Amino acid sequence: MLRTHTCGELRTEHIGQHVTLSGWVNRRRDMGGVIFIDLRDRYGKTQIVVDTGESAESAAIAEQIRPEYVVQVTGTVSARLPGQENPNMDTGDIELKVNDLTILNASKTPPMLIDRDGGEDETLRLKYRYLDLRKERMQRNLRIRHKAIKYIRDYLDNNEFLEVETPILFKSTPEGARDYLVPSRVHPGKFYALPQSPQQLKQLLMVGGYDRYFQIARCFRDEDQRADRQPEFTQLDVEMSFVERDDILDLIEDLVRGMVNATSTVPLAYEQFPRISYTEAVEKYGSDRPDLRYDLPLVDVSDIAGQSAFGVFANNVAAGNPVKALVVPGCGDYSRKQISELEELAKVNGAKGLAWLAIDPENEQIKGFIAKFFTVQQLIALTERLNAGPGDLILFSSDTRLVVRAVLGALRDEMATRLGYKDTNTLAFAWVIDFPLFEEEKEGDHYAPSHHMFTSPMPGDIPLLKTDPHAVKAAQYDLICNGYEVGGGSIRIHNRQLQRQIMELIGFSLAEAETQFGHMLEAFEYGAPPHGGIALGIDRLMALMAGEPNIREVMAFPKNQNATDVMADAPSAVVQRQLDDLHIALAGKALERVKSS
């Protein structure tokens, strides 16, 4: 071993011991007669002291040392001089007096400072990721990730789950996200697909009798990036047999609660996760993954506003559409410019305009271009319903139900940001349940599944499939946190008759089903147990738990927004021979680019 201790380990009880440390030079402070070196590894920092009067040899080496040199130091652990202790360092009561100093490896001047979080350009961080990884921030984040995943494995192992690996090279299905494809050398013109999730495979494991399965599974989706989306990401994939919905929710909630309490830097807002229906989520918060760190509810005022002389409201209510409102505390003094920013946001989300009222903080007069269309009694009824007071701003939306949701949901989110309601030091988890089995709007003349084809209806709703499919609730659930979807799953259909019924409703022919899911349908004929499961987005969970705004910060080697690895320069061109092996000829843009390079 090139060390006897780590750089975060030595304390006063080690004083007098002869030890060897190895690590990176964080900083060197040359006082002339004495040189201090902060030696760093991922466990901490220790101050090294070189006294030029005591060892000319070590002093000469210390003179050459620069930041990020890798050095080995042997010396005696000593108490710091009285008054020279550093309370900001874990090892601040001691220092290592050097007997022997060796440079294990030199370093070029790094393009960024390691001991300061510099806000460097993202390209720089990603190009020199191995240097970025030396920073405290990334080391802390990857440590949280490791601890959390270890917690998950231990928890599920204690509950009789088996971790099973499933193929990375699998089969493309046209549904869902765009697949990453891998050409086959052995089968010209055919392709594997990288899994978007192990969904089918875990259901087949249930048929195989592995009644409690999990996997820390890498997944791939070839879609455009976001702060919470990378081309490859990690799911905790879970599937169980002989369970009902609440068995899964209870288990996963206990797992997540324990994991957060044990490993997260950001604490839970509350221990018990609320279970809210999809209908409540979209009607009250305008989103199927509402941010529950704050309330700011959408309130239906159709009955009052429909009576007003404002044509838009009256006509919409007469047509059966809602008028809903959002009260924004303290924003009654918004300027014309600020209001028009909000109107722009409303329009982006489908609104034709933005109606608003503001209550004067002094004289309680109600301003806003629609005020004149309301009687005094109507205004009183409105403010009472909304619990709106002096200084408040009231934002309205009236349109189809879907547009009202989208508009006020977006405004709720925006106003929470502006009002500083998004506490970054709390995690507000919740379950969203009772999703409709089918989307509200049909695709052509067919129903569209809101999750996927294998999602089971709630058992009591099965008769409704024949009479009112839109009223059928699914045994589907999402785990949400701070406005993010961090997980989702369902109880699956294991009954062939029911599966066929659903396929007919969504316009999926037997022939189509056969080519895409033949292996699934056949498997289900050999004694598929009742089963269901969930998948949690590990990267999103880790980002939330580390208080990070982007999942790049919890991945060791992420890609940038263009799905490029700027460190390794991937994807990259390959030699013609490789293409020939794969029976691939470049065409179009790809061919032009190769010719011009």
Positions that interact with RNA (CB under 7 A): 27, 29-34, 36, 38, 47, 49, 51-53, 66-67, 80-81, 84-86, 88-89, 92, 95, 109, 111-113, 116, 118-124, 126, 175-178, 196-197, 199, 221, 223-229, 348, 449-453, 550, 552, 560-562, 564, 566
Residues with Cβ within 8 Å of residue 464, at least 6 apart in sequence? 457, 471, 472
H/E element, 262:
helix 245-263
In 3D space, the residue among 532, 351, 564, 554 whose CA is nearest the CA of residue 459 turns out to be 532
Show the DSSP H helices in 273-354 as ranges.
Answer: 278-280, 302-305, 311-318, 336-348
CA distance 476 to 454: 11
Q: What phi and psi, each to the nearest 5 degrees, are found at residue 303?
A: -65, -40
Task: Rank residues 106 and 262 by Cβ distance to RNA and give the closer one.
Answer: 106
Least Å distance, CB 401 to RNA, is 17
In 3D space, the residue among 493, 529, 522, 487 whose CA is nearest the CA of residue 205 turns out to be 529
In 3D space, the residue among 401, 129, 408, 142 whose CA is nearest the CA of residue 263 turns out to be 142
CA distance 338 to 395: 13
- Decide if 56 contacts 79 (C-beta within 8 A): no
Task: Rank residues 92 and 183 by Cβ distance to RNA and give the closer one.
Answer: 92
Task: Rank residues 30 and 211 by Cβ distance to RNA and give the closer one.
Answer: 30
Least Å distance, CB 566 to RNA, is 6
Task: Rank residues 391 and 547 by Cβ distance to RNA and give the closer one.
Answer: 547
Q: Give the position of tokens 């130091």.
A: 73
Least Å distance, CB 332 to RNA, is 27
Residues with Cβ within 8 Å of residue 260, at least 6 apart in sequence? 267, 268, 427, 545
Task: Rank residues 566 and 579 by Cβ distance to RNA and give the closer one.
Answer: 566
Least Å distance, CB 197 to RNA, is 5
Least Å distance, CB 193 to RNA, is 12
Task: Rank residues 175 and 384 by Cβ distance to RNA and give the closer one.
Answer: 175
Least Å distance, CB 323 to RNA, is 23
Task: Rank residues 17 and 307 by Cβ distance to RNA and give the closer one.
Answer: 17
Task: Rank residues 212 and 289 by Cβ distance to RNA and give the closer one.
Answer: 289
3-class SS of residue 397: strand
Question: Strand order of the sheet with strand 366-367?
Answer: 298-300, 323-328, 393-398, 355-359, 366-367
Task: Rank residues 88 and 158 by Cβ distance to RNA and give the closer one.
Answer: 88
Least Å distance, CB 34 to RNA, is 4
Q: What's the Rg (C-alpha) of the chain?
A: 30
Least Å distance, CB 178 to RNA, is 7
- Decide if 21 contacts 98 (C-beta within 8 A): no
Least Å distance, CB 169 to RNA, is 17
Task: Rank residues 177 and 309 by Cβ distance to RNA and give the closer one.
Answer: 177
Show the DSSP H helices in 548-587 as ranges.
Answer: 576-581
The token pair at 531 is 């089963």
Cα 130–Cα 113–Cα 10 angle in degrees, nearest 5? 80
Least Å distance, CB 497 to RNA, is 21
The token pair at 558 is 């992420």
The token pair at 304 is 């009052």
